[in-house]
Amino acid sequence: MNYDQARYGDDDRYESLLAEKDTTAVEVGDDSPLPAELTRDSLELPGLSEPELARHYTRLSQMNWSVESGPYPLGSCTMKYNPSFTEDVAANPHAAVHPDRSDESVQGTLELLYGLQDYLARIGGMDAVTLQPPAGAAGEFTGILVAKAYHEANGGGDRSEVIVPASAHGTNFASAAMAGYDVVELPSGEDGRVDLDALEAAVSEETAALMLTNPNTVGVFERDIEAIADIVHDVGGLLYYDGANLNALLGRARPGDMGFDVMHYNVHKTFATPHGGGGPGAGPVGVTEELAEFLPNPHVRERSGRYELYEPERSIGKVHGYQGNWLVLVKAYAYIARLGDAGLEDASAKAVLNANYLASRIDLDVPYEPFHHEFAATAGDRDAADVAKRMLDYGVHPPTTKWPELVPEAMLTEPTEVESRESLDDLAAAFNAAVSDSEEELEASPSKTTARRIDQADAARNPRLSWQAIDDEE
């Protein structure tokens, strides 16, 4: 977008404004590799004052939605506001430590990493934690590789299957497949939980692991989790916990106590770093004692009051550079240390309260109850995507739509613990207004946003990420 078109919009008005500005012509060479329609003979650069430039970019920023603008109620993504003090901690000059420095010269850094390992282990009920994986999906993949190494070391190298519920995150299926396993899809029961009979039929001596989220993707808690763990363990399989919904459990329940053997934490979702837009992230993995020797290297340990990096005995090797995404881990440590046990427990309580309050205020059915930190409402005979687009016109960000598929026209909503009652009331009002609008209004929405409706399917299937892609098509 050119200078001030964001403000003036009209091309003629923009051109007349530009003509009044002092400009500098920049000649473009004839040997440009760009397609002809993307080049021009010269580029007129406006001569701008600092206030004009600052206001221009401020206007552009105001066209975007952000967590500072309002809630991001995306189900299963925990897109919550995170306190800015963690950014200050990460920006501290003392945090700018080169990763190639010797252990002796970075004792403070290693102590922080060691402390975070301990925090996460206690929160998850695990015996050991690696901080290396740079994202949740990377944590999943690492966790499954650790499970695979465990099986291979204990005579189970021929196990070929990983069981994944139909409602699980798509990354669960991908992580298992990338690790070389066949994926066995597990149907949900009528109550939205794991069908124990279906699980009994699915497990076998081929089962390496069951990947599970608890509470699950429709927000309900797997009440039979101990029975599920027994079924998987009885055939020699491992139970993997997807940490996407850990926000509902903080200080109240621990995956390790439920029988899970390995888990990943989305510290970029649950513990401070803003999530979304492609990063940055961190997906630490926790394991029980039996799996600790297979964790990635390096790992941080304490010996005689000193901290050092070491390689676990049967490590699967490195999964990311150095010790992981350091500054993301700094923020997670600061967040946990500031909130403490009572603060984390309060966060999970309010996450569950907010979800239940919001659901009680909207004019949509919620098929699966009781739910915890998120709920899957159905838009009924309306197209959930149309309802979501219309909600944009009412000044809020819509929830996740069309997923999970066991809820028709799903609107998966997670308001998180940071939202006030007033914020939730505004969100509920937008829900109710959107679903009461006519089909014509829904199909034409959004009409009040800077960007109108796009062809999402075509954009996903045929992305053009650079001018080279346009050139290749021609």
Domains in the chain, CATH or no CATH each = 5-62 (no CATH), 85-338 (3.40.640.10), 340-461 (3.90.1150.10)
For the chain, give the percent of residues with pLDDT over 90.
Answer: 77
Per-residue pLDDT tens digits for 386-437: 999 999 999 999 999 999 999 999 999 999 999 999 999 999 999 999 999 9
- Partners of 217 in beta bridges: none
Per-residue pLDDT tens digits for 186-213: 999 999 999 999 999 999 999 999 999 9
Work out the pLDDT band at 279, boundaries 50, 70, 90: low
Instruction: Report, as an integer, the average pLDDT of 447-455.
Output: 89
What is the distance between the alpha carbons of residues 410 and 399, in angstroms, rounded to a whole number?
A: 9
For 78, 157, 313, 361, 379, the CA distances from 273, given in Å and listed in that order, are 11, 37, 32, 30, 32
Instruction: Report, as an integer, the average pLDDT of 169-177.
Output: 95
For the entire predicted model, the pTM comes to 0.87
pLDDT computed for residue 1 by the predictor? 43
Residue 41 has pLDDT above 60, yes or no: yes
pLDDT computed for residue 5 by the predictor? 47
Instruction: Report, as an integer, the average pLDDT of 41-68.
Output: 88
pLDDT computed for residue 19 by the predictor? 54
Per-residue pLDDT tens digits for 92-122: 999 999 989 999 999 999 999 999 999 999 9
Nearest CA among 73, 427, 412, 408 for reference residue 220: 412
Whether 250 and 228 have beta carbons less than 8 Å apart is answered as: no
Largest CA distance in the chain: 79
Instruction: Report, as an integer, the average pLDDT of 294-308.
Output: 95
Q: Phi/psi at 418 (nearest 5 deg)?
A: -85, -10
Nearest CA among 119, 211, 127, 94 for reference residue 161: 211
